């Protein structure tokens, strides 16, 4: 049976209260020693999220009760708990879903033009340059998606990468990175692709990927420990897109400049943040 790496910490850290709490609530787990650290393994990602939440917030104090406790099912990460732990991740996904609905996944031109990087001229053409009075357009294209596959793929990866960063560094940090990566990737696509209709979270996703990748390389931690092959797969997909093969196969035009721009700025931010953490 496959196990999930939930948490790793110092070898001398006392985890007895945490393991006692987990056992009392039926959360199966085991602890191993690996390269001078303790590693907690769980059966699935939901249990791993519980372990990380308890480790971050502290194990609740036991409450005395004269009546015997009734058997309880193993706890799961409820929506209320997720909303408290990863509100920014959920908010970005919610806004993305709402924009997908009101734009008809790119088919409703009247609403799509509200999210283009440059505004639409009275003649009906996309303007050649951004309008700084409409500064929100620098970010808006990240919410645009063209088709269910496009939306599902990007939403899945934002959930996977965004929540890792939010659990590790907090919601404000994730929000700042998301906005920064959106501005840089959208600007890169406009500079290299010219005034055109483009959108999607993928530029931001490559930024988050680069951030986690470089940060984990310099200052390893349990949150940015991505599954094996994820970085290779994403970089491989980037190369395929740059080669033009994906477009020739009928998947449509790819915003390659946004992908590359996001990866570059994300890797730079990850190297700086990881380097500072390593120095500490």
pLDDT tens digits in sequence order for the chain, 280 residues long: 557 788 888 877 778 888 888 887 777 888 888 777 888 888 777 778 888 877 777 776 654 444 444 444 444 446 677 778 899 999 999 999 999 999 999 899 999 999 999 998 888 888 889 988 999 999 999 999 999 999 999 999 999 999 999 988 999 999 999 999 999 999 999 999 888 889 999 999 999 999 999 999 999 888 888 887 888 888 888 888 788 777 776 666 788 899 999 999 999 999 999 999 888 7
Confidence at residue 178, expressed as pLDDT on a 0 to 100 scale = 97
Catalytic one among 169, 185, 202, 267?
Answer: 202
Q: How confident is the model at residue 49, as a pLDDT?
A: 81
Can you give 18-67 as a three-state secondary structure string?
A: HHHHHHHCCCCEEEEEECCEEEEEECCHHHHHHHHHHHHHCCCCCCCCCC
CATH of 79-279, one of 1.20.1540.10, 1.20.120.520, 3.40.50.720, 1.20.20.10: 1.20.1540.10
CA–CA gap between residue 9 and residue 60 (Å, rounded): 19
Q: Where in the chain are the domains?
A: 4-57, 79-279
| Structure tokens that stand for 68 in this block | 């015997």
- Which CATH class for the 4-57 domain? alpha beta
pLDDT at position 280 = 75
Instruction: Please state the φ and ψ torsions of residue 128, each to the nearest 5 degrees.
Output: -75, -25
pLDDT given at position 79: 66
267 is catalytic: no
pLDDT confidence of residue 30 = 82
- pLDDT of amino acid 48: 80
The residue from 29, 145, 150, 259 that is catalytic is 259
Tokens of 196: 């055109």
Known catalytic residue at 259: yes
């Amino acid at each position: 049976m496959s196990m999930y790496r939930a948490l790793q910490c110092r070898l001398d850290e006392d985890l007895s209260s945490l393991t006692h709490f987990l056992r009392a609530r039926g959360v199966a787990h085991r602890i191993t020693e690996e390269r001078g650290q303790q590693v907690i393994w769980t059966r699935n990602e939901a249990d791993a999220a519980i372990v990380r939440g308890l480790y971050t917030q502290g194990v609740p104090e036991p409450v005395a009760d004269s009546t015997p406790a009734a058997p309880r099912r193993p706890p799961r990460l409820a929506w209320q708990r997720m909303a408290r732990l990863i509100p920014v991740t959920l908010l970005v996904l919610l806004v993305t879903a709402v924009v997908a609905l009101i734009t008809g996944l790119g088919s409703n031109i009247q609403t799509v033009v509200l999210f283009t990087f440059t505004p639409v001229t009275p003649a009906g053409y996309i303007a050649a340059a951004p309008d700084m009075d409409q500064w929100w357009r620098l970010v808006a294209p990240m919410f645009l998606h063209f088709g269910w596959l496009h939306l599902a793929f990007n939403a899945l990866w934002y959930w996977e990468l965004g929540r890792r960063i939010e659990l590790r560094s907090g919601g404000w940090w994730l929000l700042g990175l998301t906005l920064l990566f959106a501005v840089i990737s959208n600007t890169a696509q406009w500079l290299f692709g010219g005034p055109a209709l483009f959108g999607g979270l993928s530029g931001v996703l490559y930024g988050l990927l680069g951030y986690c990748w470089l940060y984990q390389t310099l200052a390893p931690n349990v949150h940015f420990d991505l599954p094996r092959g994820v970085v290779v797969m994403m970089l491989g997909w980037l190369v395929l897109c740059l080669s033009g093969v994906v477009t020739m196969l009928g998947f449509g035009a790819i915003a390659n400049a946004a992908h590359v721009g996001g990866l570059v700025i994300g890797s730079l931010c990850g190297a700086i943040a990881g380097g500072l953490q390593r120095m500490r």
